[in-house]
Amino acid sequence: MSKARVGVLAAVVAGVLLHALFEVNQSPATATPFRVATHLLLAAVALVAVRGYVRCARTRTGRSRAGYTFAAATSLLWAVSEVIRTSSESVVPTSSAAVGAALLSLMAVICAIVGFGMAFPSFADTAVRLRRTIDGLMIFFALLLLGWYTVLGPTFRATVSRGGEAGQAILVLAAVALLCITMALALLVLSRTVSAGINQVSLLAGSMLVYAAVGIGYGSNLAFGRDWWELGVGGGHLLAGLLSAMASHMRPPVSSSIEDQQSSPRALWFPNVPVLIAFGIAAIQQATEGTMGPVIPWLVLGVAVLVLVRQFLNTQTNQALLRQISYQANHDMLTGLGNRALFTTRTNQAAAMADEHSGVAVILLDLDGFKGVNDTYGHAAGDELLRTAAERIQVSVREEDTVARLGGDEFVIMLSGLSTVEHAVRVAERTIDDLRQPLVIADTAMTIRSSAGVTISHGGGDDVDSLLHQADLALYQAKADGKGVVRRYHPALHHANVPVRPGMRRDDAGTILQAGA
């Protein structure tokens, strides 16, 4: 078991033991000193966290530094609020000390929310930013619904029944809403970090989650006249403080972005879990009491609308991903031209429709001397040369023609709707002339020289492999004739004295064939 797991387990055990000690220290002689000591212990743990977060902030910049600064401020406010609570143990809970401690706790929650916001990147993609917001709102409304049914509704009614003013009841609502926001952010962060194991981000999120739950329990205890530590509030507070202190002394992540942490598929379905729980609670309320009251229906409606919006955004995202995958599968990433797969598909389609009046031509281009550019000026210069060549080839043909890079320095053009091969030859010659225009790469003036082989099909069962083979034979004839020229295919080239390329062979009669033929 890792040290982090042992630490978390120890923190949980410490929280359970503290709650047990609260249970046994009920006598007037021991209760007050024990509670004062507990508040001081909680303050000390929070100060340990302050020291750790300050140290982390000094080593970071930008949003990350701001996030650690707010984390330190959160822990400092917790520490001060606990020190103030030591004086409230000897007075009634409504004393100025208790109110001041409660206000400081709310300020700590606000700092925690801002700090979590700093952990998220400023997404340039509006859809991603909106989807993250929708996820957070879904969890928030679901938690609010859960809280209203289990704690918030009873607490609100108890506050009013005990003579509390409307302003006090609204303050309770606002405080719980802030705590639900904190819990929603913590759950959202945990869904995207827990698969990476226990780390600083997941520990801090866990601490905030426990502290927010403790805050809701604390408010319920006050409303119902219970001791502040009941409902596990005392032990939970210590657990939250220990988790935060552990997080503050762990190594900060390489990136301040939560999205850079390793995530898992649970990040996709996790926001739906609290939604299902919330809907289940609404169903139970309706089944047991015959009504959901005035608040729950609106919360359910809000959650349902957010679910629909999220599903719409997911559909849009999935469609965009499919388009991206399709593009990557059919295009060369260096030049942006089509690749062999796209060329094969379009050429086979065009060849299937070719006839004696409308043929399909293939021009195979090879850059002369490209290897020398790579060897002399480096691969970056070679890549720039390929991109420039791709742009020039693309503008030299019609919009409906297909240009692809087959690999290395080989390009291919497919022209459809041609009546004679002469048209394709003229396109090839124009393309070679366009490529020959001077350019500067790596501060060096260069000229792209190229050779081309041309073939045409008017039907007759020619497929893309046959056309490429024919164009390849013509291209090698062009290179054999001195390079920088265009040669058209004719059947005699099968017996010509040209080099045999990889993927081709000569049969016993000396005819050049594809290797599989």
**284-314 burial string, b = 16+ CB within 10 Å, else e?**
ebeeeeeebeeebeebbebbeebbebbeebe
Element (H, E) at 332: none
Helix/strand/coil (H/E/C) assignment for every residue in 154-213: HHHHHHHHCCCCHHHHHHHHHHHHHHHHHHHHHHHHHHHHHHHCCCHHHHHHHHHHHHHH
- Measured distance CA(361)–CA(363) in Å, rounded: 7
Element (H, E) at 387: helix 379-395
Return the ∠ at Cα 321 (arms to 316 and 323), rounded to 5°.
95
With beta carbons less than 8 A apart as the criterion, state whether 68 and 53 touch: yes
Cβ neighbors of 315 (< 8 A, separation 6 or more) are: none
The amino acid at residue 414 is M
Kind of pairing between the strands at 449-457 and 486-488: parallel
Kind of pairing between the strands at 504-506 and 359-368: unpaired
With beta carbons less than 8 A apart as the criterion, state whether 229 and 217 touch: no
Return the closest-CA partner of residue 183 out of 213, 203, 155. Answer: 213
For residue 60, what are its two tokens?
Answer: 């970071």
Q: Is 409 a catalytic residue?
A: yes
* Residue from 135, 332, 401, 409 carrying the catalytic annotation: 409
Element (H, E) at 428: helix 421-435
Handedness of CA 45, 47, 50, 51 (dihedral sign): negative
Catalytic residues: 409
